[in-house]
Structure 1
Amino acid sequence: MTPAARLSAAIDLIAAIDAQRIPAAKALKEWGTAHRYAGSGDRSAIAGVVWDVLRRRASCAYLMEADTPRARVLGMLKLERGMTAEAIAALCDGSRFAPEPLSDAEHAALSTRTLDGAPPHVAGDYPEWLDGALAEMFGEARVAEAAAMASRAPLDLRVNTLKASRDKELASLAHLGAKLAPWSPWGLRIELPADARNPGVQAEPDFIKGAVEVQDEGSQLAALLSAARPGEQVIDLCAGAGGKTLALAAMMQGKGRLIATDGDKRQLAPIHERLSRAGVHNAEVRAPKGDADPLADIKGSADLVLVDAPCTGTGTWRRNPDAKWRMRPGALEIRLKDQAEVLARAARLVKPGGRIAYITCSVLAPENTGQVQAFTAAHPEFAVVPPAEVAAALWDKAELFLAAAWISPEGLLMTPRRTGTDGFFVSVLKRQG
């Protein structure tokens, strides 16, 4: 397929997503099935356009003064890809399979319009109804913070120290452009230009043998800041597919007891194969069975309970951009209830002197500082570990990290703008006595 034909396909796909109200991933999969003549490079390029348009949906429409699939694609080519009006016009020449030529209004918009004077929710590319919540957290910086969440994320890898060293994997994956990640002692980063294909990391021998895992650096740091230690009894209460479980296992060096569970046993399905590939031998997976509590035998004896809480996912918008446009106001209230319940459950599992690591991939204050305030008010036996003490897990980078992250009495918040990671909130709560 020519670049122009790929552009036409992307416009059609975005129109289908709008009309059918389906997730972008589903639309892309169905398109690939129906157009088997398209090669992997074609599918990747088309997907890249679709995801970039979703990241910048509001600003692209504003730039073009039209909220149509075509207008959003054209606006994205200027805002995200940095293309000139002339370069865009060369793609839209009306030839076979190419988009129709630019209208005078489209050419003028691409040549002269900017985002100067755009409302915050447009300049930051987020739903207007979330403006108040983002203003509560970031104030005047909300546009810059949200705009960073609308950029493309790098590909981050976590080196599995049970099987390999970071220096060894850095050399082994140099052909993919891997560099040291800024913060994580286990992290490698592959920067991706706007129109680049994702490298096939899952096909690399290092991945297949369990030496590396795909994991955002913010997620790596969230696990690191929990300070899990060898010999402890650690529970990953919302383990899901096991990303942080694997990181905890490496921190524990195979010593101690690690239990992974989740309220939805379907989420646990991939964890067994991942643990095996990573060479983890001290982890036990407990799936719920009916109404029985899979942790009924754990009564105030855990050293650490990691709560990777269900949340709105606002911190992962750059990786899951269509989620922000499908999010509805009622979602926050549901998540706040879920978080309060899982925190209360965690409190019953922790022994005196033990701790809870409360983590969200959200940047919204009610899910983060607000939730911690409510928990400590209801459970006075728990106290927040000062963020400076929590960040000490980063050793020589602790001071720099504290200067970069958003710090509050309740915890610390990473964001794409400030730490170059996904948005993650971390609070460590210690049980007194």
Structure 2
Amino acid sequence: MEDPRAIIAREPMHYRQVLTVATATALNALDGFDVLSISFASPGIAHEWGITRAALGFVLSMELIGMGIGAFLLGNLADRFGRRPTILGCLVIMGTGMALASLAGNVTMLSAFRLFTGLGIGGMLAATGAIVAECSNARRRNLAVAIMAGGYPIGAIVGGSIASALLAATGRWQSVFEFGALATLCFIPLVLWLVPETIAFLVHKRPARALEKINRTMVRQGRAPLSALPPRDVQVAGTGVAQLFAPGIRSITLLLTMIYFGHMMSFYFFVKWIPKIVVDMGFAAAAAGGVLVWANVGGALGSLGVSLLSQRFSVRYLVAAAMFGGAAALCVFGYWPTTLARLSIMACVGGFFTNGATAGLYAVIAQCFPAHLRAGGTGLVIGAGRAGAALGPVIAGLLFTWGWSLGPVAVMLACGTLLAGIVLLTFRYRESTIA
């Protein structure tokens, strides 16, 4: 009997598979808004509470720390209990955290609520990456994962435009989090309707009624049901985490973590500090949100570009090239812009390269881990790598407090994605051909 995972990898994608990819892309768009909501709100928070740049840098990093913890812990839960229940649980966490953030009365409370929100965002990243990789065929897998990752800047564009309008209309930074909570909770029925558990997970873990669940998905995708489950996969000794450091996969885990760490440090310095930098130049908070939206317009275009080019060229080389372009753009962003138009242009260019690299990097990660380790492996890489994401805004805040100007800070933080690109060029891995 043929393994259903091989059938999915070989045959054209059914429209239900496309709907699953589209839903995962929308979930990543939600992540994009949730992560950057604090950036849109930060000028109002700093003004209302009178906090320093250093303190603001720590607040901006709280959900990034939570994302790291959540990606690691909940990513492993997704490999143990399923991708679908993990996504639903993450939505509850994210929606609750956003609602609580709107009620925060001081920096400590807000930091705690953003940390909690980050737990859900991190777990969501790990689970959605696994779902998209496992529901796509081999030919379109890189494209599907990159498109899913491209949802992040789209969410920031749409959500950022709404956030800017809310800030202009209400003058309350809390309105950004209130909108985020409502939008997040609305996704729960959508996931229940459109996102089934992946066949790859069901074949490997074999929970109760596994064959029934697999056949339900196969029939809905226009494929013949199975008469019996295929032979069990060869079991590898040790826990999921231990297997990620087993011989043959240890170097992949460590190198991917280094690459992700460096790139995230640069990327999140860029997207987290844009609004505050623009306001400090004398522009209004609504205009600062507009510049961040332009960064994500560039990010959406970069993600789309990498997605399409990955069908013809090695995604590894595409990501490395985007990282080098992103490092150069961040350096120029630090010195050239003096007007709102120039800030918007360089934010767009920087977003194009940094977000394009991020989208392609998720495809690389999905290629490197087998199905039974995919969510856990992705979660570990994201979890450890998010330390870089958290460090970027913190380091920038400290350097600004010590009197550094924007130019030297941008050059310093651009080194992260530059070094990540160099490491990626030396990195070799074998791309998987089935889910």
Normalised TM-score (structure 2): 0.27
Answer with 1 or 2: which has the greater Rg: 1
| Structure 1 length-normalised TM | 0.27
Q: Which structure carries more helix by proportion?
A: 2
Structure showing the higher strand proportion among its residues: 1
